[in-house]
């Protein structure tokens, strides 16, 4: 072993054949109320972006338009397509729809009721959070079922895009579960994902590596988006 040779700290490099996934949560959707529930698509709430959500989508596009992105995926819900739209317009990429990355089915709490239950600290909502089980929502999709369809979608996308960077515009519950799968963490460990935030994983065969979580520097100059004032 040479006494004079120097060894720098190695920098991470993406393995050959791997897929880089940029996980973006949709922008803020419109407010919920009992008097004005969300329209349903296949039984799931489908609110449009709020004016703030549209502004977030524009900031996201400015952040990402100079990045190398080979494909864009959205879900069956319009808030993801609306979030991707400003970037798509800049890049001329045609978004593909992946239904299995749609938000968790909230059963009888669809249409905006889930958000109301959360805001009012409904005991059933608190129990669901404590036990980290979506299936405790009446008629809701189980965490196991959610994770199963997410795996199907990820396998499909990564098989189609080796050595490429793919933008997935999805939902908070789904992104949280992807990161949980990647790290082997508790089901809800990554549940609090900000609107229009960017998380990043590298998928190489059966291995998933988290490189970034909840990056919001394009939305606010503060270290955390929690300090970003509500407008």
Q: What is the DSSP string of 153-206?
A: HHHHHHHH-TT-EEEEEE-HHHHHHHHHHHHT--TTTT----TT-EEEEEEETT
Residue 172 · residue 141 · CB < 8 Å: no
Coil, helix or strand at residue 32? coil
CATH architecture entry for 19-69+89-172+196-216 = 3-Layer(aba) Sandwich (3.40)
pLDDT in tens, 85-138: 999 999 989 999 999 999 999 999 999 999 999 999 999 999 999 999 999 999
Residues with Cβ within 8 Å of residue 56, at least 6 apart in sequence: 27, 28, 83, 195, 196, 219
Nearest Cα residue to 129 out of 194, 179, 193, 188: 188
pLDDT number for residue 84: 98
pLDDT number for residue 225: 65
Residue 166 · residue 199 · CB < 8 Å: no
Those residues of the chain that have pLDDT short of 70 are 225-231
pLDDT number for residue 3: 82
Domain residue spans of the chain:
19-69+89-172+196-216
């Amino acid at each position: 072993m040479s006494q004079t040779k120097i060894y720098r700290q190695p920098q991470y490099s993406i393995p050959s054949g791997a897929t880089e996934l940029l996980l973006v949560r949709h922008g803020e959707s419109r407010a919920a109320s009992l008097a004005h529930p969300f329209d349903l698509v296949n039984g799931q709430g489908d609110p449009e972006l709020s004016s703030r959500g549209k502004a977030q989508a524009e900031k996201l596009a400015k952040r990402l338009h100079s990045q190398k992105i080979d494909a864009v995926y959205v879900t069956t819900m319009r808030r993801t397509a609306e979030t991707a739209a400003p970037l798509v317009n800049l890049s001329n990429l045609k978004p593909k729809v992946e239904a299995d990355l749609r938000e968790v089915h909230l059963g009888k709490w669809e249409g905006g009721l889930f958000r109301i239950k959360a805001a009012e600290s409904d005991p059933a909502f608190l129990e669901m959070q404590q036990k980290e089980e979506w299936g405790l929502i009446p008629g809701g999709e189980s965490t196991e079922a959610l994770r199963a369809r997410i795996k199907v979608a990820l396998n499909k996308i990564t098989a189609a895009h080796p050595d490429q960077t793919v933008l997935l515009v999805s939902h908070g519950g789904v992104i949280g579960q992807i990161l949980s799968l990647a790290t082997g963490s508790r089901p809800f460990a990554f549940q609090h994902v900000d609107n229009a935030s960017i998380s990043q994983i590298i998928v190489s065969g059966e291995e998933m590596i988290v490189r970034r979580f909840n990056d919001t520097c394009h939305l606010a100059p503060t270290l955390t988006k929690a300090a970003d004032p509500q407008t």
